[in-house]
Amino acid sequence: KQEVTQIPAALSVPEGENLVLNCSFTDSAIYNLQWFRQDPGKGLTSLLLIQSSQREQTSGRLNASLDKSSGRSTLYIAASQPGDSATYLCAVGAGQNFVFGPGTRLSVLP
Amino acid sequence: NAGVTQTPKFQVLKTGQSMTLQCAQDMNHEYMSWYRQDPGMGLRLIHYSVGAGITDQGEVPNGYNVSRSTTEDFPLRLLSAAPSQTSVYFCASSYASGLQYFGPGTRLTVT
């Protein structure tokens, strides 16, 4: 059974710092991996989708990498801003079934 | 495009009552899914559909029914509500192996 973990559980950084969020999964037979952002009391907003054949995806200040063989993905956020404060979730896809990690709660302090 | 819409936003039920959570998408996505989100448990897949007329169970299907008569709609039925079904419910849709789009969620309390 696929298990997804995220480290750290919570992170607090000053504005302007570059930071890395980690996602690990136990079964490397995946179709894709997706990173989401969730604001308190809100739904999930998709940030980046990496297909299993890809190594990384970039969108603005965000860069996500995927290493299937080691069961790891990282989300890099450059020049963090207070508006980046949210919970970040990774989800590992095998067909239509996605398994979610517990999330990393990020606080960016002004 | 409205994206993925869910109704109602909030609902309180008594134990034993039944209800249907509505989900609709206007992006012509084949895939639709229902998740529940609980503190300390994360998001868990309840049921999913790969197209009209086709549904399958996810990780936590017990106590829930779904049907998919059209591409746009994917309602989730609670047959006899229990306090353990108190949760936030999210509907999602996507193309095959594509970005998943989530609805705003329904916050359900069963007393």
Q: pLDDT tens digits for B40-92?
A: 788 999 999 999 999 999 999 999 999 999 999 999 999 999 999 999 999 99
Q: pLDDT tens digits for A30-62?
A: 989 999 999 998 899 999 999 999 999 999 999
A88 touches chain B (CB under 8 A): no
CA atoms within 13 A on the CB side of A93: 22
Nearest-neighbour CA in chain A from B44: distance (Å)? 7
Mean pLDDT of the residues in chain A: 94
Please answer yes or no on whether A43 and B105 come within 8 Å at the CB atom: yes
Q: CA-to-CA distance for B48 and A33, rounded, in angstroms? A: 18
- DSSP codes, B31-88: EEEEEEEETTTEEEEEEEEEETTEEEE-SS-TTEEE--SSSSB--EEESS--GGG-EE
Mean pLDDT of A62-72: 96
Nearest-neighbour CA in chain B from A60: distance (Å)? 17
A98 touches chain B (CB under 8 A): yes
B12 touches chain A (CB under 8 A): no
